[in-house]
């Protein structure tokens, strides 16, 4: 699943190709995504300039004078910047055709993504109750420590709760916990303020590094410029079960936490 760095990489990739361009047509080939594409969306978007492309959590928000188009990449979605006339592939579900002849094409083999509309002055339930962005100042160790008190849930599950902080998915939670020396199954309420301060700083570091390197190479993810990310080369634990720890050399182990794979080092994480 594309995580926050992959979504931010996509935003940065498509932004210069769409800002200031008008939408000449929204061509919908398959409206049946996780939630159906609103039938009025082509009419609402036609002729509207795209003023900004924002990311909130893993949602991309395309601002126009009459509202926002909200896109989520789901588990396997991608946005590609193409030129007009390129034939669609099997899972290319819609095109945003632009006034300069460019096309923003959405591909999603599993159809778990979405393309929805938010009217002016409105909000959306999918954006409600979201925690802070992990790269902003309001997210820090004190925030994590305060919300974690008396919680018995594993700290990894706590970090992946979008009400606590957005965008820290499975890959980057594994990596940050390793760097902080915290076992992923430790109870969130048993992590000290000092360790949460270190963890919050490392989450920022890991996500920033991943964004700078273009996201993590996943089988289904391709950036907005058509190039895969390269952060996978830097991973310490994710996808490395049984391989030697890059710090101590012991074989990495796997835990199943909330039905998700969690790779950790028995020596380096406590």
Catalytic positions: 2-3, 58, 260
Could you tell me which residues come within 8 angstroms of residue 24 by beta carbon, excluding any fewer than 6 positions away? 46, 47, 97, 98, 99
The binding site for DNA consists of 91, 110, 151
The binding site consists of 91, 110, 151
CA 258 to chain centre: 19
Residue with tokens 């309001």: 138
Q: How many Cα atoms are found within 13 Å in the side-chain-facing hemisphere of 117?
A: 17
């Amino acid at each position: 699943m594309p995580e926050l760095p992959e979504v931010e990489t996509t935003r940065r990739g498509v932004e210069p190709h769409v800002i200031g361009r008008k939408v000449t047509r929204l061509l919908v080939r398959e409206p049946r995504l996780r939630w159906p594409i609103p039938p009025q969306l082509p009419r609402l978007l036609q002729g509207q300039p795209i003023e900004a492309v924002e990311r909130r959590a893993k949602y991309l928000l395309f601002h126009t004078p009459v509202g926002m188009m909200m896109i989520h990449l789901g588990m396997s979605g991608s946005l590609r910047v193409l030129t007009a006339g390129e034939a669609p592939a099997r899972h290319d579900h819609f095109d945003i055709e632009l006034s300069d002849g460019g096309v923003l094409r959405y591909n999603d083999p599993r159809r778990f993504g979405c393309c929805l509309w938010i009217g002016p002055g409105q909000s959306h339930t999918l954006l409600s109750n979201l925690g802070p962005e992990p790269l902003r100042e309001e997210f820090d160790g004190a925030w994590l420590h305060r919300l974690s008190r008396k919680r018995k849930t594993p700290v990894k599950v706590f970090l992946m709760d979008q009400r606590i902080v957005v965008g820290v998915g499975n890959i980057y939670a594994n990596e940050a916990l390793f760097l902080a020396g915290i076992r992923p199954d430790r109870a969130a309420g048993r992590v000290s303020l000092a360790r949460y301060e270190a963890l919050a700083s490392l989450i920022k570091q890991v996500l920033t590094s991943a964004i700078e390197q273009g996201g993590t190479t996943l089988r289904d993810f391709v950036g907005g410029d058509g190039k895969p990310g390269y952060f996978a080369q830097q991973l310490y634990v994710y996808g490395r079960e049984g391989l030697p720890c890059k710090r101590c050399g012991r074989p990495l182990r796997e835990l199943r936490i909330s039905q998700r794979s969690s790779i950790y080092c028995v020596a380096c994480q406590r």
